[in-house]
Amino acid sequence: MSRSTFETDPVRLAGPFPADFAWGFAASAYQIEGAAAEDGRGPSIWDTFARRPGAIADGSSGNVACDHYHRYRDDVQLMAELNARTYRFSTSWSRVLPTGTGAVNQPGVDFYERLVDALLAAGIKPLVNLFHWDLPQALQDRGGFGDPAVVGWFADYAALVAAKLGDRVKDWMTFNEPAVFAFLGHADGIHAPGLRDWPTAMRVADNELRAHAAAVQAIRAEVEGARIGVAIDVNQVAPATDSERDRVAAEQWSSARDAWFLDPLFGRGYPTLGFEAHREAGHLDGVDLSEPPAGDLDYLGLNYYRRDSVSARSDRPFDWEIGAAPGSEQTLMDWHVAPDGLRDVLIDLNARYAPAEIMVTENGAAYPDASEPDGRVRDVDRLEYLARHIAAVGEALRAGVPLTGYYVWSLLDNYEWSLGYTRRFGIVRVDFDSQRRSAKDSARWYQRLIARP
């Protein structure tokens, strides 16, 4: 595609967005904080998983990551310079409750208090996400998210964090990408806790929905005027060919994965098509599913990155290949770049579920950034990725989707889970030896796009 076929002018791109639109950055605790064994933090399942031989591409862990635990003031300052209106971060459950329940670790609570205060002082609105996959190891040892007791554990943890921060934080998120946690962590085994058992994954998904509902109640009880949502990852799902088999497979996959969470959250129970696919594949063997409670959402968070093509190897559900269409434009994650997919997913979510508000709670890209001798990173590919996706959000807004925010994933290059430090998503470069941060060209560009009028 020629570079001139889309708009990159930041001022023109910002045009359709209202003045109070929430422009910001998203991050998560384990990916940036480091200080893994400091100030009383207990281990999480990611500390354990990262030690498993072969689990992480470069053998690394989040022990140090971006050292954000010590450098949070500088990072907040950096976000302020870049004109961020809001910052979405997650609290590490095992930093505030080292064994998941019971005794509170005061230094852990203090850290999040200081972070919130620094953000507010810099004019940046905090959005607190309670769960970005780093379950306390002590709770995994008691059955983890596969055990229905997790609903109570999670609600108590939510109540605690809400009680500590709720006087200053009004924007909340219960879960990030519950499908990734359930399926990649418990069926595919490529994320912590590294299990490969579909019935367990289905129990985990069910318990996440119940834990979400319980946490929403707990937050509402503690925080006056709370605005609560959840981040669901919905990429565009497309059949690889126009064969009937691929078309059916794509519909089954999107029902068994995306609607599996969305339908219950919007009070519709589990979707029939997805249910049949999971049942036929044996995923529900021995699993007792009843109607999960509705989500009671003030906003729906959408994490969007790519288009997934589904090609069926047979007529059996889950006997599918899912990935970027061959020959498509791709990022370093081998993800198919599809900004029109973001527009269409937003329009479709709005038509299907009519959420009160939608925020794009993650969007961004990994590219092989080259740092030049002068330290500059001319990441034109990332800049263009963001420009095209922001234009797509603008189109959805004009089509009537009630969009209120957009969060770039991510401020900093960070620990990309099982890919370790081999994929850089930051619009700010991190030199992991010196911990030096330097704004890439995409950061300077985003800074102009979101400048306050």
Binding-site ranges for ligand FCB (CB under 6 A): 28, 31, 176-177, 180, 233, 303, 362, 409, 416-417, 425
Provide φ and ψ at 128, rounded to 5°.
-100, 120
CB-nearer residue toward ligand FCB: 26 or 256: 26
CB-nearer residue toward ligand FCB: 154 or 305: 305
* Residue of 208, 222, 362, 395 marked active site: 362
Q: Which two tokens stand for residue 412?
A: 């900093």
Q: Minimum CB separation from ligand FCB for residue 31, in Å?
A: 6
CB-nearer residue toward ligand FCB: 57 or 287: 57
CB-nearer residue toward ligand FCB: 31 or 61: 31
Cα(134)–Cα(170) distance, rounded to whole angstroms? 23
416 is catalytic: no
Which residues, at least 6 apart from 51, have a Cβ–Cβ distance to it below 8 Å? Answer: 61
Query: Beta-carbon neighbour count of residue 67 at 10 Å?
Result: 18
362 is catalytic: yes
Q: Minimum CB separation from ligand FCB for residue 180, in Å?
A: 6
Q: Minimum CB separation from ligand FCB for residue 334, in Å?
A: 13
* Residue of 177, 208, 384, 395 marked active site: 177
Q: Minimum CB separation from ligand FCB for residue 438, in Å?
A: 21
Which residues, at least 6 apart from 394, have a Cβ–Cβ distance to it below 8 Å? Answer: 13, 15, 16, 17
Q: Minimum CB separation from ligand FCB for residue 33, in Å?
A: 13
| CA dihedral for 328, 331, 336, 338, sign (positive or negative) | negative
Asked whether 180 and 191 are in contact (CB, 8 A), the reply is yes
Asked whether 345 and 399 are in contact (CB, 8 A), the reply is no
CB-nearer residue toward ligand FCB: 179 or 265: 179
Asked whether 228 and 173 are in contact (CB, 8 A), the reply is yes
Q: Report, as residue numbers or ranges, the catalytic residues.
A: 177, 362
